[in-house]
Amino acid sequence: MAETVKLTFEGETYEFPLVIGTEGEKAIDISKLRQTTGLITLDPGFVNTGSCVSAITFVDGEKGILRFRGYSIEELARYSSFREVAYLLIHNVLPTHEELQNFSILLNDQSMVHEDMQHFFETFPRGSHPMGILSAMVTALKSFYPYLQSAEEEMDRTVTRLLSKVRTMAAMSYKISIGHKVTYPRPDLSYCANFLNMMFDSPVKPYHIHKELVKALNVFWILHADHEQNCSTASVRVVGSGRVNLYAAISAGIAALWGPLHGGANQAVIEMLMDIKNDRGGLSRAVKRAKDRNDPFRLMGFGHRVYKSYDPRAKILKKMVDRVFTKLKISDPLLDIAKELEEIALQDDYFIDHNLYPNVDFYSGILLRAMGIPTNMFTVMFAIGRLPGWIAQWKEDADDPKWKLSRPRQIYAGPRKRKYVAIEKR
């Protein structure tokens, strides 16, 4: 007999199914709560609410565990490429050599952007934020590629079109923003190497593709590929539940990711480290302010809504930063400040008691700086990495036989019914 949870209200007892996930997570199925009791739940921020049953990503915030389709993030970051992880998230299996080759061919075939789209880029005002441009351009893709059939072959083409063209558009937007000639994708380069080349190659100064930076970019994008039902992923699912096309749903995810508390956090970390560097009070003053409840200042890159221990992605990224800086003999004072700040925080009772450990954003900005990525492109880099997860989540929701249009309830707290007063009597 299935387990249930009992609710007693106004002398009546109701039973609701207990749902248990494969990793032992438990949830009360309240889908019939209002129908049977007349009640709804109130959960600001949805911090205690499961919006779906998903087989894509598992997160255990207390133990610091992250897995994609059952594979640990540590193993994927160490052994896989971003292309493999993208395939895994979308197709639910790690690809064979043949499958990966076919996937790579599709990515290469779809890497070019329609020449007419360059005119769109050029009409955005100078200084426009790349995330706003990217969101608009992804929506525009529907106009250039209007036919989305249900056939698997067409779906693969649409998926790889997004994965490949968004990467190309991101590099293109950067080139146009600095007034440089656009660099086209090359069929002889891998996914990550192609992006770096499109970003930094120049007719007067050919770009040297360093294998350490290619590896670092693979790891960076793998770590960001999915993360359960976060703000942007939930947005993709909610918008997608209206049965909009994939492009529109992804555009919504990009817009949600734009915020400084979500995708923009890595940029905020760099800005914070710069402020600490330029502040006479330095680290000691920053730590003191962070612990002062009356001070609005906060240390960016510390703490996480889900993780109550050290973010497993941050551990991987810290090692990658050290590796890149050592191999390429890079020196950055912000890295020194970051390491010292982390050391202070990990030994301070305040940070330990409040579970304020470094998260993935703490070191990601420093790694992107080492690659030469400009600060205003940091969130775009996050978006490219998160694309496979968004696509997988959209597809899972679209294929769900128990699909429902997202429509949250609310508790109304406004005025009760009032009599309308004619304007001349007000």
Active site residues: 304, 361
Residue 241 backbone phi and psi in degrees, to 5: -65, -20
CA distance 213 to 325: 10
Residue 406 backbone phi and psi in degrees, to 5: -65, 125
CB 193 within 8 A of CB 214: yes
- Inter-CA distances, 342 with 235, 285, 336, 346, Å: 32, 15, 10, 6
Q: N- to C-terminal Cα distance for the chain?
A: 64
**Token pair 């128990």: residue:** 402
Edge-first strand order for the sheet with 26-28 is: 4-9, 12-20, 26-28
* 124 contacts: CB under 8 Å, gap ≥ 6: 133, 136
**Token pair 């990793």: residue:** 23
Exposure string over 274-303, b if 16+ CB within 10 A, otherwise e:
eebeeeeeeeeebbebbbeeeeeeebbbbb
325's tokens: 């800086």
DSSP states of 189-202: S-HHHHHHHHHH--
